[in-house]
Amino acid sequence: MFKVFTDIKVCFVKMESVEEFEGLDSPEFENVFVVMDFQDSVFNDLYKADCRVIGPPVVLNCSQKGEPLPFSCRPLYCTSMMNLVLCFTGFRKKEELVRLVTLVHHMGGVIRKDFNSKVTHLVANSTQGEKFRVAVSLGTPIMKPEWIYKAWARRNEQDFCAAVDDFRNEFKVPPFQDCVLSFLGFSDEEKTNMEEMTEMQGGKYLPLGDERCTHLVVEENIVKDLPFEPSKKLYVVKQEWFWGSIQMDARAGETMYLYEKANTPELKKSVSMLSLNTPNSNRKRRRLKETLAQLSRETDLSPFPPRKRASAEHSLSIGSLLDISNTPESSINYGETPKSCTKSSKNSTPVPSKQSARWQVAKELYQTESNYVNILATIIQLFQVPLEEEGQRGGPILAPEEIKTIFGSIPDIFDVHTKIKDDLEDLIVNWDESKSIGDIFLKYSKDLVKTYPPFVNFFEMSKETIIKCEKQKPRFHAFLKINQAKPECGRQSLVELLIRPVQRLPSVALLLNDLKKHTADENPDKSTLEKAIGSLKEVMTHINEDKRKTEAQKQIFDVVYEVDGCPANLLSSHRSLVQRVETISLGEHPCDRGEQVTLFLFNDCLEIARKRHKVIGTFRSPHGQTRPPASLKHIHLMPLSQIKKVLDIRETEDCHNAFALLVRPPTEQANVLLSFQMTSDELPKENWLKMLCRHVANTICKADAENLIYTADPETFEVNTKDMDSTLSRASRAIKKTSKKVTRAFSFSKTPKRALRRALMTSHSSGEGRSPSSSDKHGMSRLSSTSSLAGIPSPSLVSLPSFFERRSHTLSRSTTHLI
């Protein structure tokens, strides 16, 4: 501490008692007292004497930053709550409140009696009251009293701040604190899920009708009437209140979500019209007929299919989603959205006096395109924009990379189809049989090629990300529950909505085919439609090709992660994995006999890897995801051009399912024989060898792949599989491996003893000043490779003395500095 005062150039005096200060008091200096403990009598005496008192962390912090001591009219022990403005609510014991306020002042915080926009944190002992409601509406963090106590416990830590998210989030008031919930109208699975979420968010739950319940959460779409008369103290709220509280990470206000019976005036009017007591008059019948016609028209234009049964909601099948549905024209402004999101139709679709079949199909094409654009707008407005919005209550729901993975190129797809819809609308409004519909899709074919492949190819990844985040992040789960229940979504999940782009292009191609059938041969649009259909097929082919390439690249990455020491040059844009084969080595190459070997056949090379004897550790990606440890060890990456012959070993009693490769590595003068036994019967040996030869022939540009296969007897190449599965053979291989490990463990140098003696004699003779003999020179030449390696400076061997010298010098300098 004394050194610190010297560094910041402050005069100081060490005293054992306050009485010593009376003789040192001088008006020329401002006296600041550094007290180690703010609880002892010395501190109390100084505080009563209105002296300026600070704690050691303040001095250390100012010394570290080179700043002057902060001025405070109150005793200041540390600065962990500096610049924080706190307000309290719900405290009935004055002693506890005074204690908390004192600790906040000791840590540099400011207290406000009334809540306003300058308050940074509300410390609540209860979830009732006006301050709590205002804090929720403003998104102000609401903290437990333990937050202050724990911050004070860490008061001596340098650079500690009580407002850091990781520390603060541990003490936030959970959304359902002091709440006892019961649920009505939910399935058993939904109810169990909501009960678990209630406990996770700090609340409790009781059976329906229990008098201790504070809230009754109702599924408003199912429950038409309550089974009992609720008490005045019981909040009867919709499920949106439950999920909204979790999403905001704070208890939402109940008044906005109160449950009301579904007795709307429109419903009463419809019931009165359809009542059996309706008088049998022409006027009433005409009104009833008009009402039913209106209802039927609304049903025809219904944006989404009817609600599926609960058992079918969780199954996602392509067939169930082929219906291209619409969304209501009304939209919710969550933030900045593309202009075409809020663009309405220019006018209603005109109906020609005589509706031709071509016009009917064109009208259906326009309607489905309009519906599809509205679905994309719903995805963007209800899901993507709110998730990307800054300043979310409780912090961001998802990370930016997760949002990008989920939605991908949806905005780009939306922009393209908005233009297509507008062009189709102009064509329908000004309909003429000679106008070309095919030109519209030809016009935007390049845009479709750019936008669709990135989304369709990574749709499965998008789906997996949604499922993973929904399980791991309660706020995202609540966000989906709230928005998926809105009428704009038609009670469909986000995954079900996101699959629509996958289905759209095939649907358009079918409609264009139907349109072509109803187009006269003399109409110029017929040939244009054929080109448009061809362009759509080209887009879909491009999508499939990109998807195949993406999956191929993913397979290569899986190989790299599975094989320890796999060469980086295996990753190549033109390379793809063809086949994986599990084998056992039958010779001394490429590894010991009996080793389990995995062959990865690529279109231009062969990766050979053996099973690892011991798997250690795991791989952790930068995003924190843990991968399983590599189960294979890299042996050799062989270009297929090095394979000269593929030997099909005949089946005998002593040899089963064996084959061999005759290889000429560039570093060897003679051919090397690699023999293997296939251990799996899933892929017949004949098919595997033909596949291998075909890719070898492609690599060396030969058309006769069959000429590469040579059938041989096992005795010719001394290949047999007789002892592969015997216990004695396995024990012998294990002993051999153990012997090799022991040899490697005790072999400190691979240099021969004779060479070492000669090297030592040479160095000794040179030290004595005599020239080396011819035998010594011969010894030195034999050690040239070793000497060249020894000449390379090694930080672990050669530089050890210099390292210790530097270390000793550094220690001596630091000691001198401290003295």
The DSSP code sequence of 316-363 is --TGGG-S-----S-----S---GGGSPPPSSPPP--SS--HHHHHHH
Last residue of a domain, which of 256, 272, 306? Answer: 256
Phi-psi region of 795 (alpha: psi -120 to 50; beta: other; left: phi over 0): alpha
Check residue 120 and give its pLDDT. 93
- Tallying the residues shown for the chain, one arrives at 819
Q: Which residues contact 477 (CB under 8 A, 6 or more apart)?
A: 197, 246, 470, 471
Average pLDDT score over residue span 67-93: 89
Strand partners, 634: 609
* Cα distance between residue 372 and residue 504, in whole Å: 8
Higher-pLDDT residue of 189, 393: 189
Tell me: pLDDT of 795 over 50.
no
Is the pTM higher than 0.75? The answer reads no
Q: Which of 73, 40, 39, 34 is nearest to 57 (CA)?
A: 34
Check residue 678 and give its pLDDT. 93
Average pLDDT score over residue span 421-445: 91
Higher-pLDDT residue of 328, 653: 653
Dump strand ranges (E) for 11-130.
Answer: 32-34, 52-54, 85-89, 110-111, 121-124
pLDDT, averaged across the chain: 76
* Cα distance between residue 105 and residue 99, in whole Å: 10
pLDDT 10s digits, 614-655: 655 544 444 444 456 788 999 999 999 899 999 999 998 888
Check residue 568 and give its pLDDT. 83
| pLDDT tier, 276 (very low <50, low <70, confident <90, very high otherwise) | very low
Question: Considering the domain boundaries, does residue 317 fall inside one?
Answer: no
Are 700 and 576 contained in the same domain?
Answer: yes
Integer Rg of the chain from CA: 40
CB–CB of 719/652 below 8 Å? no
Are 534 and 412 contained in the same domain?
Answer: yes
Higher-pLDDT residue of 545, 487: 487
Tell me: pLDDT of 327 over 50.
no
What token pair was written down for 296? 């039927």
Q: Which residues contact 520 (CB under 8 A, 6 or more apart)?
A: 526
Tell me: pLDDT of 34 over 80.
yes
Dihedral sign, Cα of residue 447, residue 450, residue 455, residue 457: positive
Tell me: pLDDT of 665 over 60.
yes
Number of domains in the chain: 5
What token pair was written down for 429? 């409004």
Last residue of a domain, which of 698, 720, 742? Answer: 720
Tell me: pLDDT of 170 over 50.
yes
Question: Considering the domain boundaries, does residue 369 fall inside one?
Answer: yes
CB–CB of 618/629 below 8 Å? yes
Amino acid at position 387, single letter: L
What token pair was written down for 694? 């075909």
CB–CB of 242/263 below 8 Å? no
Last residue of a domain, which of 720, 740, 775? Answer: 720
Check residue 548 and give its pLDDT. 65
Check residue 753 and give its pLDDT. 47
Q: How many other β-carbons are positioned within 10 Å of the β-carbon of residue 419?
A: 16
What token pair was written down for 111? 């207290």
For the ranges 202-211, 342-351, 662-671, 698-707, the lowest mean pLDDT is seen at 342-351
Are 663 and 712 contained in the same domain?
Answer: yes
The domain of 211 spans: 180-256
Q: Give the strand pairing for 142-143 and 180-184.
A: unpaired
Q: What is the CATH number of the domain that holds 668?
A: 2.30.29.30
| pLDDT tier, 674 (very low <50, low <70, confident <90, very high otherwise) | very high
Are 236 and 108 contained in the same domain?
Answer: no
Write the burial class of residue 224 (CB in 10 Å: 0-12 exposed, 13-18 middle, 19+ buried): exposed
CB–CB of 618/677 below 8 Å? no
Q: How many other β-carbons are positioned within 10 Å of the β-carbon of residue 39?
A: 8
Amino acid at position 144, single letter: K
Amino acid at position 801, single letter: P
Average pLDDT score over residue span 345-369: 73
| pLDDT tier, 341 (very low <50, low <70, confident <90, very high otherwise) | low
Check residue 12 and give its pLDDT. 58
- pLDDT > 90 fraction of the chain, expressed in percent and rounded: 30
Average pLDDT score over residue span 464-490: 89
Check residue 300 and give its pLDDT. 42
Average pLDDT score over residue span 116-120: 90
Q: Give the strand pairing for 672-678 and 577-585.
A: antiparallel
Q: Give the strand pairing for 563-564 and 632-639.
A: parallel
Check residue 457 and give its pLDDT. 80
Tell me: pLDDT of 143 over 90.
yes
Are 33 and 162 contained in the same domain?
Answer: no
Tell me: pLDDT of 783 over 50.
no
Higher-pLDDT residue of 451, 806: 451
* Cα distance between residue 201 and residue 198, in whole Å: 5
CB–CB of 86/112 below 8 Å? yes
Tell me: pLDDT of 664 over 60.
yes
* Cα distance between residue 69 and residue 31, in whole Å: 12
Structure-derived torsion over alpha carbons of residues 715, 718, 724, 726, reported in degrees to the nearest 10: 70
Check residue 333 and give its pLDDT. 39
| pLDDT tier, 319 (very low <50, low <70, confident <90, very high otherwise) | very low
| pLDDT tier, 10 (very low <50, low <70, confident <90, very high otherwise) | low
Are 163 and 184 contained in the same domain?
Answer: no
What DSSP assignment string belongs to 427-455?
HHHT--TTS-SHHHHHHTHHHHHHHHHHH
φ, ψ at 653 (rounded to 5°): -65, -35
Strand partners, 609: 598, 634
Tell me: pLDDT of 714 over 90.
no
* Cα distance between residue 431 and residue 338, in whole Å: 28
Q: How many other β-carbons are positioned within 10 Å of the β-carbon of residue 790?
A: 14
Check residue 798 and give its pLDDT. 31
Question: Considering the domain boundaries, does residue 344 fall inside one?
Answer: no
Question: Considering the domain boundaries, does residue 736 fall inside one?
Answer: no
* Cα distance between residue 383 and residue 391, in whole Å: 16
Are 185 and 165 contained in the same domain?
Answer: no
Q: Which of 59, 36, 33 is nearest to 47 (CA)?
A: 33
Average pLDDT score over residue span 566-582: 85
Q: What is the CATH number of the domain that holds 220?
A: 3.40.50.10190
What token pair was written down for 21? 């200060």
Check residue 294 and give its pLDDT. 53
Check residue 731 and give its pLDDT. 52
CB–CB of 340/415 below 8 Å? yes
| pLDDT tier, 86 (very low <50, low <70, confident <90, very high otherwise) | very high
* Cα distance between residue 250 and residue 176, in whole Å: 8
Give kind and range of the element (H or E) at residue 648.
strand 643-649
Tell me: pLDDT of 304 over 80.
no
| pLDDT tier, 378 (very low <50, low <70, confident <90, very high otherwise) | very high
- Angle, CA of 228, 234 and 237, to the nearest 5°: 85
Q: Which of 499, 494, 462 is nearest to 317 (CA)?
A: 499
Check residue 512 and give its pLDDT. 92
Q: Which of 577, 492, 460 is nearest to 320 (CA)?
A: 492
* Cα distance between residue 803 and residue 798, in whole Å: 10
Check residue 779 and give its pLDDT. 40
What DSSP assignment string belongs to 148-160?
HHHHHHTTTSTT-
For the ranges 252-261, 361-370, 635-644, 738-747, the lowest mean pLDDT is seen at 738-747
Give me the residue label for tokens 């019981």. Answer: 234
Tell me: pLDDT of 749 over 60.
no
* Cα distance between residue 163 and residue 178, in whole Å: 25
Check residue 68 and give its pLDDT. 81
Average pLDDT score over residue span 374-403: 90
**Per-residue DSSP letter, 234:** -
Are 103 and 141 contained in the same domain?
Answer: yes
* Cα distance between residue 464 and residue 435, in whole Å: 44
Are 367 and 475 contained in the same domain?
Answer: yes
Question: Considering the domain boundaries, does residue 451 fall inside one?
Answer: yes
Average pLDDT score over residue span 312-337: 36
* Cα distance between residue 25 and residue 94, in whole Å: 37
Are 8 and 35 contained in the same domain?
Answer: yes
Question: Considering the domain boundaries, does residue 200 fall inside one?
Answer: yes
Query: Helix, strand or coil for residue 79?
Result: coil
Check residue 41 and give its pLDDT. 82
Tell me: pLDDT of 282 over 70.
no
Question: Considering the domain boundaries, does residue 226 fall inside one?
Answer: yes
CB–CB of 658/649 below 8 Å? yes
Are 385 and 433 contained in the same domain?
Answer: yes
Q: Which of 248, 247, 239, 141 is nearest to 474 (CA)?
A: 247
* Cα distance between residue 533 and residue 527, in whole Å: 10
For the ranges 136-150, 659-673, 772-786, the lowest mean pLDDT is seen at 772-786
Q: Around 435, how many Cα atoms within 13 Å sit in the side-chain half-sphere?
A: 15
* Cα distance between residue 724 and residue 583, in whole Å: 11
Are 371 and 520 contained in the same domain?
Answer: yes
Tell me: pLDDT of 224 over 50.
yes
For the ranges 48-52, 274-278, 563-567, 722-726, the lowest mean pLDDT is seen at 274-278
Question: Considering the domain boundaries, does residue 114 fall inside one?
Answer: yes
pLDDT 10s digits, 490-529: 878 999 999 999 888 888 988 999 899 988 888 988 899 9
* Cα distance between residue 423 and residue 405, in whole Å: 31
Strand partners, 261: none
Check residue 761 and give its pLDDT. 52
Check residue 25 and give its pLDDT. 57
